[in-house]
Amino acid sequence: MANANIITLNEANFKAEVLEAQVPVLVDFWAVWCGPCRMIAPLVEELAEEYKDRMKVGKLNVDEYQGLAAEYGIMSIPTLLLFKNGQVVTRLVGYQAKDKLVQVIEKYL
């Protein structure tokens, strides 16, 4: 992944990077073949850069980690979950405009 501020999530690091994080974590559940996932990717990268000092951003490939996707009820992608203190506080399904994402993030910082 090109952006150093985005964590590539997997079963081995999900607990430490997301559930035990001391800051909010935005997790992008995506897949390579998903057109809307590719459309939202630049926005996720921008947010990772803009909020790098106040939150974490991670991406989880649902094709590679179907168990984790199922655990969080991911039925369609892209789905963005915002975690705070190890709990899901917001679920956004489908493509989202940047202003909507910023509004949601600001609410939990």
Q: Letter for the amino acid at 33? A: W
45 noted as active-site residue: no
pLDDT level of residue 2 (50, 70, 90 thresholds): low
Q: What angle do CA 45, 47, 51 make, to 5 degrees?
A: 125
Q: Which of 37, 40, 41, 82 is catalytic?
A: 37
Our CA dihedral for 43, 46, 52, 56, rounded to 10 degrees, sits at: 20
What is the spatial distance between Cα 20 and Cα 46, in angstroms, rounded to a whole number? 24
Q: What is the pLDDT of residues 55-93, one digit of tens each?
A: 999 999 999 999 999 999 999 999 999 999 999 999 999
pTM of the full predicted structure? 0.95
Q: Which of 34, 92, 93, 102 is catalytic?
A: 34
Query: Region 25-53: what's the mean pLDDT?
Result: 96
Q: Order of strands, edge to edge, in the sheet holding 87-93?
A: 6-8, 56-61, 25-30, 79-84, 87-93
77 noted as active-site residue: no
Does residue 41 carry a pLDDT above 80?
A: yes
Tokens describing residue 5: 């501020």
